[in-house]
Chain A
């Protein structure tokens, strides 16, 4: 169905790769042109988060707040109170974690129009190791009232998500990655905030994924097809507010679900899906994600393998969930 909207060549050796932060940086430049209210803040990581590109073009609208994330959130809140649309940037750990109370009280409680953009989400951060691999932001952010959470699956989607976030009034968290990851969507692929997209049709199992895991879920679905299992793959880029309608419909039709996230399974993306399914369509669910542990140093793809976040792990989870479905 919607497969025409995603890139057909998914072979890791040949698929184009780009970090999601690239798409984000492009969107910031476009927003800078389009809306003078857009301002950008960083905490001494403008080269890494790529906000430096915005700073070069719009120096009067870029504020480096130094290595002081809690204050940066407050400065952003204050700018929002003065009518600006601030985009706040640093690594996810230092935003969602270190500045959580500022996001809670100053930004979310006050319903301030602040966009919080966490770079370096997930294990794929790689060699920097556990301290810099954010594995908790989805949980920390989605629990906050008024906060919206988007996890783009690739660079193209990161660009669209950023443009969409700018149009929303109020707080939004966008989770980005460091490493080049497969670009699976095209310019034409639809992105609608709050609406999940089915990237592959299937009837035996609904595979829900966000971020990099969407790509891996598509690869897994190819492999499952060879085993005679028809897997539906859904890109749930907006984790909050979650697309309940499409989530329930997919579970209703497939009668089994697997969730995939580059994040702790506890309270994270899989939990968000499970919260919906437990209430509205309780089918067997298996979760692929990090299991209550920190990451470590290593190359991105090595880490995904070690922490069981590969396409093969998704295949195994699907096989498990289908077995459970048959036992019911």
Chain B
């Protein structure tokens, strides 16, 4: 593994995110930027997949439950060659491959449609169950937002995945502690979050979500855990990498204007 190359990739994903949301004039940069290392590690190190064969049966699956963070998913898929990166400029535009929230039938490499929060982990658990029935080695990854964990369905899914002992399932929580209305702990507190997952029979790992090394070793531990699913509680900073966006709830769903775009791109060189 080349750590510095993955770090470079994460920086490139951030540039793509800023470009996409700037060109679209809308979208969700904050929660996309916070997941750049998570996605770079998954798509460029951990997951078995092949851009030339998006439907390859033996591939690992990735489901984006926090659908609004699709710029980071599109960036990973585009940089990996699932489609031309020229499409980034058409994000959210009429007729684009890149919908405002992910749609499996529009974008090569997108496995599930999402956008209504709280649904992705159930889909991921179902696929993990199906793959296990067929004795396939493929693993299923699912990225959730922390605010999203306020949805009851997430805990229904957590209960089911724990009950079914889905050790081929690995969830990642982008734990940036911000949601639209403010700090997660103030809007609707989640702490103690690791205890909650453990109570639902999960292997819960707390990890620095911007450390490539830490993420890689956590994904390794997840792969070697038997009899229960693993969740990575990845501590992150919303808007990470762009100084004026960092840790600011207002950048959840606002696009950078020309000036902000240029400043952000300068910081991301």
Q: Add 7 more A-B contacts to A77-B122, A81-B130, A106-B113 (CB < 8 A).
A: A39-B130, A74-B120, A74-B157, A75-B123, A79-B126, A104-B116, A109-B103
Taking A110-B105, A111-B105 as contacts, is the C-beta distance between A75 and B160 under 8 angstroms?
A: yes
Check A78 against B128 for contact (C-beta < 8 Å).
Answer: yes
Interface residue A105 (Cβ < 8 Å from any Cβ of B)? yes
Q: Tell me the A147-161 residues at the B interface (CB within 8 Å).
A: none
Interface presence of B134 (CB below 8 A): yes
* A39 CB contacts on chain B under 8 angstroms: 130, 133
- Which residues of chain A are within 8 angstroms of B122 by Cβ–Cβ distance? 70-75, 77-78, 102, 106
A164 within 8 A of B: no
Number of B interface residues, CB 8 Å? 34
Please name the residue on chain A nearest to B121 by beta carbon: A74
B140 to chain A, nearest CB (A): 8
- List 7 tightest A-B contacts by C-beta distance, closest first: A78-B126, A74-B122, A82-B130, A71-B156, A75-B126, A68-B156, A78-B127
**Interface of B: prevailing SS:** helix
Point out the residues of chain A lying under 8 angstroms from B112, CB to CB.
77-78, 81, 106, 110
* A74→B115 contact, CB < 8 A: no
* Chain B residues closer than 8 Å to A75, beta-carbon distance: 122-123, 125-126, 129, 157, 160
Interface membership of chain A positions 52-77, coded 1 if the CB is closer than 8 angstroms to chain B and 0 otherwise: 00000000110101101011111111
Cross-chain contact A68 with B160 (CB below 8 angstroms): yes
Chain B 84-128 interface mask (CB, 8 Å, partner A; 1/0): 000000000000000000011100000111111011111111111
Tell me which residues across on chain B come within 8 A of A101, comparing CB atoms: 116, 119
Whether A110 contacts B129 by the Cβ 8 Å rule is: no
By beta carbon, the residue of chain B nearest A61 is B133
Asked if A16 is at the interface (CB within 8 A of a chain B CB), the reply is: no
B159 within 8 A of A: yes
Give the residues in chain A near B81, CB-CB below 8 Å: none
Question: Does the CB pair A105–B113 fall under 8 Å?
Answer: yes
Q: Please measure, in the bound complex, the distance between the C-alpha atom of A106 and the C-alpha atom of B157, giving whole angstroms.
A: 14
Interface of A is mostly: helix
* A78 in contact with B160 given A84-B133, A111-B105 (CB within 8 Å): no
Inter-chain contact B153/A81, CB cutoff 8 Å:
no
B residues less than 8 Å from A79 (CB atoms): 126-127, 129-130
Known A78-B123, A105-B115, A110-B113: A65·B130 in contact at CB below 8 Å:
no
Q: What residues on B are CB-neighbors of A127 within 8 Å?
A: none
Choose one: A66, A83, A106, A110; the contact of B160 (CB below 8 Å): A66
CA distance A65 to B161 in the complex (A): 10
Most chain B beta carbons < 10 A, residue from A70, A76, A79, A81: A81
Selected from B105, B120, B125, B153, the residue in CB contact (under 8 A) with A70 is: B153
- 27 CB contacts below 8 A, A to B, read A63-B164, A65-B160, A66-B163, A68-B156, A68-B160, A70-B118, A71-B159, A74-B120, A74-B122, A74-B123, A74-B153, A75-B157, A76-B126, A77-B123, A78-B124, A78-B127, A78-B130, A79-B126, A81-B112, A82-B129, A83-B130, A84-B133, A102-B122, A105-B115, A105-B116, A106-B112, A106-B113
Answer whether residue B152 sits at the interface, using C-beta atoms and an 8 A cutoff. Answer: yes
User: CA of A76 to CA of B116 in the docked complex: distance in angstroms?
Assistant: 17
A75-116 vs B, Cβ < 8 Å mask (1 yes, 0 no): 111111111101000000000000001101110011100000
Distance in angstroms between the alpha carbons of A106 and B114 in the assembled complex = 7
Q: Please report the C-alpha to C-alpha distance between residue A101 and residue B105 in the assembled complex, in whole angstroms.
A: 18
A68 to B121, CA, bound (A): 14
* CB-based contact B156/A63 at 8 Å: no
Task: Give the chain B neighbours of A111 by CB distance below 8 A.
Answer: 105
Residue with the highest number of chain B CB atoms closer than 10 Å, among A66, A72, A78, A102? A78
- What residues of A have a CB within 8 angstroms of the CB of B157 in the complex? 71, 74-75
Query: Per-residue CB proximity of B128-139 to A under 8 Å, as 1/0?
Result: 111101100000
Quote the shortest CB–CB distance from A1 to chain B (angstroms): 42
- B131 neighbours in A (Cβ, 8 Å): 82
